[in-house]
Amino acid sequence: MNMSKHQEKYDLGDDSEDEIIASVNFETEEITVLKHIYFKCTGCALCCIENKIPVTEREYAKIEEMEDIDVSYALESLSPILIPQRVISDSNRIKAYLIKKKPYSHECYFLGDKKMCKIHPVKPFACKMYPFSLRPDHDEAVKILIHPESVCQFIFDVKEEESNTEAIVEEIISIINSNMKEM
């Protein structure tokens, strides 16, 4: 994609409302795009170094099933934290743990050679969603926003015709649906 002169790196600013890129109503299947952005992951792995990644107990069990992965050292803390349920409603909160960082490099414990994720097929929902996250709106709707603490350098404000927000939203819906099927 050729970026035009008006392209600007996405600036989170102070106004949290500006972070929302789209709203999805799962009952009516209505998608409302609120922000025109262009994003394509370059695989730079900055997010695998800078972010703290929550892992639910269900995700942990799936990682444990992988061959050649010793997950027993992967948790930063055995004290569960509470994170919002990742679909539709935040009334129900679930337990999660944090993935440990490697000493010195501070990379995620699961980051392998050539910046490849060693648990890619079963990586946590938070990693699949990044640099976006969800905010429950009402019972059947969710807002999709740029992650409030995004370190990603590859989100750009663009004109509508250059935007791939809709494609991003479709991909996120597919991640949510497959996550719900696994629950």
Q: Which residue ranges make up the site for ligand SF4 (CB under 6 A)?
A: 41-48, 53, 99, 108, 110-111, 117, 119, 123, 127, 130-131, 151-152, 154
Would you say 6 or 102 has its CB closer to ligand SF4? Answer: 102
- The per-residue b/e assignment along 31-53, b for 16 or more CB within 10 angstroms, e otherwise, is eebebbbbbeeeeebbbbbebeb
Would you say 91 or 105 has its CB closer to ligand SF4? Answer: 105
* Distance of alpha carbon 170 from alpha carbon 122, whole angstroms: 20
Would you say 125 or 142 has its CB closer to ligand SF4? Answer: 125
Q: What's the min distance (Å) between Cβ of 74 and ligand SF4?
A: 9
Q: What's the min distance (Å) between Cβ of 43 and ligand SF4?
A: 5
Amino acid at 169: V
Q: What's the min distance (Å) between Cβ of 99 and ligand SF4?
A: 6
Amino acid at 24: V
* Distance of alpha carbon 137 from alpha carbon 63, whole angstroms: 30
Q: What's the min distance (Å) between Cβ of 139 and ligand SF4?
A: 30
Q: Would you call 70 helix, strand, or coil by DSSP? A: coil
